[in-house]
Amino acid sequence: LKVGVLISGRGSNLQALIEACRDPATNAKIVLVLSNKANAGGLARAAEAGIRTAVIDHKAYADRAGFDAELDRQLRAAGVELVCLAGFMRILTDGFIAAWHNRMINIHPSLLPAYRGLDTHARALADGVKLAGCTVHYVRRELDTGPIIVQVAVPVAADDTPDSLAARILTAEHRAYPLALRLVATGRVTVDGERAILDGQAM
């Protein structure tokens, strides 16, 4: 399966996906990494792995639709079949999301549907939750919603700071995203309406 990864920053999840794709069992090949930031650390990781990269600076476009049209054009030109959002910090238009319906997945650093949006770690600590984690899900119009593919939970420690909790969740992300990619790329996970299905059964 040909995969395109969209990033904005350091790209540690991209790195986990790159490593996963070295295993034939993942059944996926990253053919393009797109970043809206020229200084994203993930671009070097992709280049190191011999993956084609491109920067599409959102500030060069008059509106979101123009930016998304260029994203779409480049993904299609590369033959991308599945889009993985990995720390991509732009809101996507409804049109782009519809065009990639059930062909675009995202990782979010919370156990959705809790803590959609930003500052998930600080908000979880403020609420005193004892379990946190990450979610890989299909992308829908509403931010951080969509059929859930994989979740990994981690404990919250009494002395956690947002940074220490984020670091623990990040290690979980690096397990969750490769697993989710493999499940999707091998066809073991599919979508039935608004629920992901594993091996033909609700999960």
Q: Residues comprising the binding site? A: 11-13, 64, 89-92, 106
Among 11, 133, 146, 147, binds ligand GRF (CB under 6 A): 11
* Options 108, 121, 137, 174, the catalytic residue: 108
The residue (of 13 and 26) whose beta carbon lies closer to ligand GRF is 13
**For the chain, first and last CA: distance in Å?**
23
Q: Is 175 in the site for ligand GRF (CB under 6 A)?
A: no
Of residues 103-132, which lie at the interface with ligand GRF (CB under 6 A)? 107-109
What is the helix (H) or strand (E) element at residue 162, kind and residue range? helix 162-185
Q: Is 87 in the site for ligand GRF (CB under 6 A)?
A: yes
Which residue blocks in 104-161 are alpha helix, DSSP H? 120-127
The residue (of 14 and 152) whose beta carbon lies closer to ligand GRF is 14
Q: Is 86 in the site for ligand GRF (CB under 6 A)?
A: yes
* CA 112 – CA 133 distance, rounded (Å): 9
Active site residue 58: no
Neighbours of 177 (CB within 10 A): 27
Q: Residue 7 CB, nearest distance to ligand GRF (Å)?
A: 6
Stretch that binds ligand GRF, among 12-20, 73-81, 141-149, 184-192 (CB under 6 A): 12-20
The residue (of 82 and 165) whose beta carbon lies closer to ligand GRF is 165
User: Which segments within the chain are labelled E, that is strand?
Assistant: 2-7, 29-35, 53-55, 82-85, 104-108, 131-138, 148-155, 189-192, 195-198, 201-202
Among 5, 6, 13, 67, binds ligand GRF (CB under 6 A): 13
Q: Residue 11 CB, nearest distance to ligand GRF (Å)?
A: 5
3-state helix, strand, coil split of the chain in percent (to 5) is 35, 25, 35
CA angle 120, 109, 168 (to 5 degrees): 100
* Residue pair 157/149 in contact by the 8 Å Cβ criterion: no
Q: What are the angstrom distances between the C-alpha of 81 and each of 28, 60, 74?
A: 10, 26, 12
Of residues 153-172, which lie at the interface with ligand GRF (CB under 6 A)? 170
Q: Residue 128 CB, nearest distance to ligand GRF (Å)?
A: 21
Q: Which residues bind ligand GRF (CB under 6 A)?
A: 9-14, 42, 86-87, 107-109, 170, 173
